[in-house]
Structure 1
Amino acid sequence: MLSTGARRGWAWSDVDIAVPRPSGRLPGIRMAGFSQRVPAFVDITMVAHPSVTLLVDLSEAAGLAYDTQARHQRGSAVVGLLPGDLRVTGRGIGDCLQIRLEPAAAAAVLGASAELSGTTVALEDVWGRDADRAEDRLRAATSWRERFTIVEEILGRRLAARPPVDPEVGYTWRRTLASRGRVRVECLADEVGWSRKRLWSRFRSQLGITPKRAARLVRFDNAAHLLAAGRTPADVATRSGYVDQSHLHREVKAFTGRTPTDLAVAPWLAIDHVAWPD
């Protein structure tokens, strides 16, 4: 079953959003479809979140473009963890499929999680010809329901083809998410029966990020959504486990280059309750 919603009056006017109902078939993977039906110029800056992102461009016009400090590219892309200052632009009408993969799922689906952290690369650079075949199938589909079914098939096959990350690494990631980044690495190492050094090394090699950096990212993501929900920076700092409001300010600045006040009205966060419902 599909649920749909629309948001108007922000950076992407006249965009319809489709999301599949939650399913246990693809653990650690979520997706949403975006359809722009009225010609318009889209210009939006991504906000870092604890997922690797696949942006599958299904538009018929100029398509999506990505601008970072280092490069400019077009088409479908994989956005690794901590991509930095990334702007996504597009013009005209068309569809885009966004897939969010938790790092453990990304390691299986993409097979290159460590190399992707901090980067944005073309999907074909990661999947080769499979990227073109997947895009062709998705463009030929007549509904978002059909597209989500196709994605489940493609990603499910890739998940089954690769060994999962170490159980200790997967557990550490899940604990980090559940605690909203507030459990110390030493405690996590004790819980899985590894040394801090071993956990650090295996986590980094398999997920492309250190345990401490992962905790900071998860904590920031929680704080960003509290700010977007209208809570004050002082309240968010307390609720998210920051030492004080200045600490929150420094972390928001480090992840986004913005102030907490600016982040609270970021268009990227404005649709999360529709596209990525809890």
Structure 2
Amino acid sequence: MRTFVHGGAAWGVACPRRPSRVAGVTMAGFSARGLGTVRMVPHPAVTLLLEFGAGSPVLDCAAGQQQRGSIVAGPGLGSGGAIRARGENIECVQVRLSPVIARAVLGASPADLDGAVVSLGDLWGREASRIREQLGDVSSWQDRFALTDALLARRYEAGPLVDPEVAWAWHRIAVSRGLARVDGLAAEVGWSRKRLWSRFRSQLGLPPKRAVKLVRFDHAAHRLVAGEGAAQVAADAGYADQSHMHRDVMAFTGVTPATVAGEPFLAVDDIAWPSRGTPAKPHVSRDLRLGRRPEARRLTL
């Protein structure tokens, strides 16, 4: 476990030694004696937080609502700067699920979350309590990652696939870092625009145009955190100008690009998610186009 220090934040961060057996799953472990209030910055993935420590993370949401313990949230968690995390004596495994596989893993479409943070117990019932107990019973982070991966792989194998055309459209948006022309996606997959928009929204939890904006914002935000100049980031990320990027960042986070550049939630990514970037090809492989699930990699527990 490495120590992450950024301003007033000091967390322990652990990473799996092996990739997940399910393409589209990444995870990291976090330990924090005291988690000061941290702004949740939107990310183009479904977030699954599995807590098992003596304390419990608290998410302060819009309109004074709170969520405690293990949670799940759709792509864009924290949009508008509306969600903050805090707590003491926290230990958790955070999983990022590609929207393409989230429906299978969760047993529900990300669209069913309707942009809200949902208690994992409400979604999984007793299985949420069982995984919490199992994570607490093992002593090493690698064993926790293995337990989590086995759970996700089992659920994925039993869950429904998204349409291969929807998976292909998501892949095009992701690999282009939000520069894909939305109007051309339907033609690429051979569907009508109306059909693709409807299926994309219902299966992945957000419409294609929103997906493009979110992916583009995520790429730009991480470059700002890396210390790159706002004007250059705006130009490279495909914004019309710096003011355009400023408006997008404000819409997603509620703060300016200069403030986003100092957010610990983003700064920790270089340690916690070192392999972030181009999505794995199995999402749009020949197997997926034919409606077959790619073979899972074997992992010895």
Q: Which category describes the TM-score, using the shorter chain as reference length?
A: over 0.9
Identity among equivalent positions (%) equals 49
Q: How do 1:1-278 and structure 2 match up within 5 A?
A: 4-13=1-10, 15-23=11-19, 25-36=21-32, 39-61=33-55, 63-70=56-63, 71-83=65-77, 84=79, 85-91=82-88, 93-110=89-106, 111-278=108-275
The one-letter amino acid paired with 2:250 is K
- Structure 1 alignment gaps of length 5 or more: none
Q: Which structure 1 residue ranges, 4+ long, deviate > 2 Å from structure 2?
A: 8-12, 21-24, 39-42
The one-letter amino acid paired with 1:95 is E
Q: Call closer, same or farther: CA 1:141–1:219 in 2, change over 3 Å.
A: same
C-alpha deviations, 1:154-186, integer Å up to 9, x for none? 000110001210000011111110001111122
C-alpha deviations, 1:253-272, integer Å up to 9, x for none? 11001111111111111110
Q: CA deviation at 1:25?
A: 1.1
CA contact (8 A) 2:103 2:203 kept: yes
SS in 2 for 1:237: helix
CA contact (8 A) 1:82 1:117 kept: no
Q: CA deviation at 1:96?
A: 1.4
SS in 1 for 2:50: strand
- CA RMSD of the aligned region, Å? 1.3
The one-letter amino acid paired with 1:6 is T
Q: CA deviation at 1:9?
A: 4.6
CA contact (8 A) 1:106 1:113 kept: yes
The one-letter amino acid paired with 1:201 is S
What is the number of equivalent residue pairs in this alignment?
A: 270
Separation in structure 2 between the aligned mates of residue 276 and residue 10 of structure 1, nearest angstrom: 20
CA contact (8 A) 2:20 2:26 kept: no
C-alpha deviations, 1:7-35, integer Å up to 9, x for none? 1253432x221111352511111000012
CA contact (8 A) 1:226 1:236 kept: yes
CA contact (8 A) 1:11 1:44 kept: no
The one-letter amino acid paired with 1:136 is E
- Structure 2 alignment gaps of length 5 or more: 276-301
- TM-score, normalisation: structure 1: 0.93
Tell which has more relative contact order, 1 or 2 (C-alpha 8 A, sep 6+): 2
CA contact (8 A) 1:57 1:75 kept: yes
C-alpha deviations, 1:228-250, integer Å up to 9, x for none? 01011111100100000010000
CA contact (8 A) 1:185 1:196 kept: no
Q: CA deviation at 1:72?
A: 1.1
Separation in structure 2 between the aligned mates of residue 245 and residue 35 of structure 1, nearest angstrom: 37
SS in 2 for 1:164: coil
Separation in structure 1 between the aligned mates of residue 239 and residue 160 of structure 2, nearest angstrom: 36
Separation in structure 1 between the aligned mates of residue 261 and residue 53 of structure 2, nearest angstrom: 29
The one-letter amino acid paired with 1:138 is L
Q: Call closer, same or farther: CA 1:30–1:117 in 2, change over 3 Å.
A: farther
Separation in structure 1 between the aligned mates of residue 165 and residue 267 of structure 2, nearest angstrom: 35
Q: CA deviation at 1:117?
A: 4.0
